[in-house]
Structure 1
């Protein structure tokens, strides 16, 4: 007896319903660190149970709004793909390393090189992206979507957005004290919301870049530079910068354990133990070390349009 053909119409969804399912998937699969930290602050007991349930619903409605907003400027499947892959990758680093994707981290990612990037790509990340990223994305692209006119689909999206806003309001009103505490006193909790905070950070970084390129011109600090003596063979200086190395844990500075055995064998090595950086973020600390302003007044956006020590030496 021949098998009956699968009726794909039963499996098909409207684009708006697909986004509702994607939002539910994102809340449950990409926010383990977020909810873990929330329950650390608001323990799962009778006093906080109502707020915690409300927060899950609030967060779901907010993700729905984000997806709907992006679906207005790009196809639904592409919006869902971007959200799912981003949530899978950033969720791994939040769960495994407690790393949040803020605008500084976005700057680091975009300015890193292949060797540094390879250090943070491991089996755990690959499995996470494959199972919670690529697999659901494949399902989305294989699943047939019901076609509707642009105006009809726009109406569905606007109705869904209005419903999501109403849900958010209904979540906040009866528990306004809890939400006031959540937003005012526990701001770091929001850093783990996924993928909403990474999306916010990417947008913030893009805005900073746009504003920086529009309002800033390149500034020369040294009006006159004395060139090297003509005809004299220039001296080659190799500068080894360890912007995340603690000076008291560096063997060249007297640390008991040999941390740089090969470097110690090189002749004429000079160690500068009194150098400080602006932090452990490479995209910030390295430019800061060579900036004229110093650590207190350093601005990473301004530094990209201002001469530093290396620029002057290069002249």
Structure 2
């Protein structure tokens, strides 16, 4: 390697700053930025905005420093080139040229990014009485409104990193002092502009990273380009166990816990006093989490080297998975969410994957691999084991003592928002996984269900055939249902039909795994007991035993155990209806056509159709082109390249497609007046589409938004069915309008409509009951 270049770690110099910059670009810390700036926004004003010292000295005056240095460098370059008399003048000329060029590129690059990324200053955003929204940086080849990312003035300070690199090989001690001076100068510029409301804190951090990367990269290209690949090869990101220990603890604390820090700063609100307390609490908690992480990693260090590395990889994988779920969709890895994750089949899981999500996962997981030490620690002797046990205990003690110093506000925080405990990674996924696997029951597991009523029977047996169709929708929320008051035509066909519309129904849960078993059980949400629900016979089996012919047709990820005891068909197995591995729900209509042609007088059939519906995040796959009438739709399952409007448009198109499917089913039944037909549609749960930063579903029920819990329901009964089964349309209408309808009504309403006598039936929960007890 070049003997004139002092050794350096290219992973620390180049890769780490690049990774941090990329992270801040992809996931800007808006919550932290706003919290800090609110402390500086006093009585609705930026008090230092017009301050003479800040404006004339710290702003305009500070710009003179790099200008003066640049002019001096140009002077020295010209003099060296003209005279060519000094010793080693060429080497000096190159160093001065490096300084000038590195400073120039740093300033130009920051200026260009400011002009093209479309990020507004704090004094222009809505949160501080401005008119613009806080935005993520988004590149363009033309200038855009905003002009505040990164910080241009801050760049005039940090561009002087070039001086450190120019001096480091010849004047080691002086270069360290210069580096310290540049950092202080840059931080002063940063603080001044942040206090004036010109930039958020992260804007200035980004500027520092950009200038460092520029100066370091040009330095390497000028002085060490022939050896850079050898340095990457011979110098490891974590060459010692200590590097792995500290680096991994920092990674867990600062990056995997980003969802926790976001939620913490949001909880601070807008009161400056509360924000100050929250920022102090955040600093204390970060220190406590860091020492606890050190304790855990040190304890894992007792394991054999390969096993130690494997454990760090597993914990890193779980932490990064939770991080992506939070960053992309705002979801938290609670036990309920882990249950959904573990029970997702390959087809459903594939909906979450795209090139962008895979690349994002690789990007976020890369530090885990880079931090794992490759140095051979040798055998962990007995003395070393005791040392690590002692250090682990010491780190844990320090972490606990630090936490105890703020135990009261920390406890209050956890009591106010219990979901925060599931945001501390990687322990959140470890706890949730253990809780799910050790204490929970898999809904799809084979089990002997308790038969509450040994002798149910269908009391009506008309001469005409009966076909009862129950459609269990997927992810349809009332908020985007035209028949529930939505202002877009998402139900153009159903809205013209003679149906019984129940616009808002309270769901049992916010996920299929919870809602589906619950809505087909006799107890439902009102007396919710998951173990009891999963251990008792579900509605389809009871209907089968009562003498009805029940068939479950699935176009989703399974029945969650509710179809046990009845004939079960996967729609995708019928290649005549489905072109590939996935079916669209319109295939239900084609299947119904076939069944109606073969049904015979006296048959009593129940079809339970489990839709694909509006299952996300690939909403665009849940509809045809003819349904995409609400504008450009989002086609990125990570949502990162989509606007809020595009996400909603894709979702609305899926609801419009469902409308066509449901109308098609009803029309097919209407066409067969010789058959007693009845139809119920009800969605299992709703969906978040970005409200309050939350996407998809599965939030803890107690704190989940209404859009995940309020769903639509539709009923239609043929005249023959109403006559033969003695159903009063007036009673139905009265019952659905006089009370809040919930999933709890479904089980008993189906029994009531089909006149199934059962000890599990409760008339008060039957929407068709003419007399309710």
Q: TM-score, normalised by structure 1?
A: 0.76
| Equivalent residue for 1:282, pick from 507, 512, 519 | 512
CA contact (8 A) 2:239 2:374 kept: yes
Number of the residue aligned with 1:104: 336
Number of the residue aligned with 2:262: 36
Query: Any stretches of 5+ residues in structure 1 without a counterpart?
Result: none
1:256-301 Cα deviation digits (max 9, x unpaired):
8554679999x99998778653122111011111011122113223
| Equivalent residue for 2:351, pick from 109, 119, 129 | 119
1:193 and 2:424 equivalent? Answer: yes
Number of the residue aligned with 1:130: 362
CA-atom RMSD in angstroms:
4.2
Number of the residue aligned with 1:24: 250
Query: Any stretches of 5+ residues in structure 2 without a counterpart?
Result: 3-226, 546-773
Number of the residue aligned with 1:308: 538
Number of the residue aligned with 1:219: 450
Larger relative strand fraction:
2
Distance across 1 between alignment mates of 2:321 and 2:247: 19
Distance across 2 between alignment mates of 1:239 and 1:279: 19
CA separation of 1:280 and 1:180: change in aligned 2, threshold 3 A: closer
CA contact (8 A) 1:58 1:167 kept: yes
CA contact (8 A) 2:294 2:392 kept: yes
Deviates more, 1:63-72 or 1:89-98: 63-72
SS at match of 1:23: helix
CA contact (8 A) 1:243 1:285 kept: no
Number of the residue aligned with 1:209: 440
Q: Which protein has greater RCO, CA pairs closer than 8 Å, 6+ apart? A: 1
- How many pairs are equivalent? 308
SS at match of 2:470: coil
CA separation of 1:294 and 1:173: change in aligned 2, threshold 3 A: closer
1:254 shift after superposition: 9.1
1:201 shift after superposition: 1.2
Distance across 2 between alignment mates of 1:250 and 1:181: 39
Distance across 2 between alignment mates of 1:142 and 1:312: 59
SS at match of 1:240: strand
Distance across 2 between alignment mates of 1:187 and 1:254: 33
Distance across 1 between alignment mates of 2:485 and 2:407: 56
SS at match of 1:145: coil
Number of the residue aligned with 2:410: 179
Deviates more, 1:55-64 or 1:236-245: 236-245
Distance across 1 between alignment mates of 2:415 and 2:536: 37
| Equivalent residue for 1:60, pick from 286, 290, 294 | 290
Number of the residue aligned with 2:382: 151
Distance across 1 between alignment mates of 2:506 and 2:413: 36
1:188-234 Cα deviation digits (max 9, x unpaired):
4333222222222112112213799xxx97311231244999xx9x9
1:162 and 2:383 equivalent? Answer: no
**Larger gyration radius, structure 1 or structure 2:** 2
1:139 shift after superposition: 2.7
Q: TM-score, normalised by structure 2?
A: 0.34
Number of the residue aligned with 2:111: none
CA separation of 1:105 and 1:174: change in aligned 2, threshold 3 A: closer
CA contact (8 A) 2:237 2:370 kept: no
SS at match of 1:239: strand
Deviates more, 1:118-127 or 1:279-288: 118-127
1:119-150 Cα deviation digits (max 9, x unpaired):
333444322210121x2344356723312236
CA contact (8 A) 1:190 1:197 kept: yes
